[in-house]
Amino acid sequence: MTGLSMPPDDALASATSAMKRIKTAKQMPLAETAYLRLHEAIREGVFKPGQRMMEIDLAKWLDMSRTPVRDALRRMETEGLLTHEPHLGLIITQYDRRAVVELYSIREILEGTAAGFAARHATEFEIAELLQLAAEQEGLKDDIKGIAENNRRFHRIIYQAAHNRFLVRSLDAVLVTMGLLWEGYANFMSESRVQASFREHSALAKAIASRNPQEADEAARAHMRGSLQERLKRLPSD
């Protein structure tokens, strides 16, 4: 396990780009800003599982005092994103194969339920958005950032189209933990998996558009199983 090292400029740019889509620091408490930026950095692979998260270094990186950083780290520890290790302090939580399978199993159920609800309750506008995003994927080809953004929007629209706030809360909680598994989209998605994901998104969008809850549920679950198999290929054997 290594200590905190400052990432290169291109990684920093990638990790902070999402903040433009959220809110500026002046519009939210500094602790919330720190939390969002650190969480995004983990998702982008700037900081990796097993890496120490040193409060003083993070405060310098975020260009803020240690108090909001400390609050953000406490929140991340409560959510399971960080783990306190003896003689090391806080590190980014590492999950073994069993934990990854358990996490994807829960997400499969939730994603399937959301897709089934979307098939019942989606507006015509939401369906049009899903079909458009599915159609746009092929044109992205090697644009990893574009693919990642398309994927994020696609799933978010399904959650919105389910029109069930409690389901969305459950999905959001799982997705917080899922952030530990990304380590950068480019490091996760092989070319073959990207193409398979395109096909799965297309099938899922069509099932929702046809108002077929069972088919939509099954398509969403198959999509999650495909993602899990790709993830397991990149994890060490127990």
Q: How many residues would you count in the chain?
A: 238
* Weakest mean pLDDT among 10-14, 73-77, 119-123, 214-218: 10-14
Q: Are 91 and 83 in contact (CB under 8 A)?
A: yes
pLDDT in tens, 69-82: 999 999 999 988 99
Same domain, 43 and 56: yes
Residues facing 84 on adjacent strands? 90
Within a domain: 238: no
Distance (Å, whole) CA 224 – CA 217:
11
Can you read off the two tokens belonging to residue 116? 């089934």
Rounded average pLDDT over 219-235: 91
Which is higher by pLDDT, 122 or 177? 122
Distance (Å, whole) CA 76 – CA 82:
6
Provide the angle, in degrees to the nearest 10, between the axes of the packed helices 165-178 and 144-162: 150
Rounded average pLDDT over 37-54: 87
Q: How many domains does the chain have?
A: 2
* Highest mean pLDDT of the ranges 1-10, 31-40, 114-123, 144-153: 114-123
Residue 222's identity, in one-letter code, is A
* Weakest mean pLDDT among 36-40, 105-109, 121-125, 183-187: 183-187
Same domain, 76 and 129: no
pLDDT at 24: 46
Residue 61 clears pLDDT 70, i.e. is over it: yes
Same domain, 139 and 158: yes
The domain that holds 41 is classified in CATH as 1.10.10.10
Domain containing 164 equals 97-233
Within a domain: 111: yes
Residue 2 clears pLDDT 90, i.e. is over it: no
From the list 6, 207, 3, the residue with the least C-alpha distance to 112 is 207
Q: Are 145 and 194 in contact (CB under 8 A)?
A: no
pLDDT band at 4 (very low <50, low <70, confident <90, very high): low
pTM: 0.76
3-state class (DSSP) for residue 117? helix
Same domain, 146 and 206: yes
| Domain boundary pick from 46, 62, 92 | 92
pLDDT band at 188 (very low <50, low <70, confident <90, very high): low
The rounded mean pLDDT for the chain is 86
Same domain, 129 and 80: no
Tokens 């409690």 sit on residue: 166
Same domain, 21 and 41: yes
pLDDT band at 45 (very low <50, low <70, confident <90, very high): confident
Same domain, 84 and 129: no
Same domain, 39 and 122: no
Same domain, 176 and 136: yes
pLDDT at 192: 85
Measured torsion, CA atoms of residues 36, 38, 43, 45, in degrees rounded to the nearest 10: 160
Q: Are 158 and 118 in contact (CB under 8 A)?
A: yes
pLDDT at 23: 46
Same domain, 164 and 218: yes
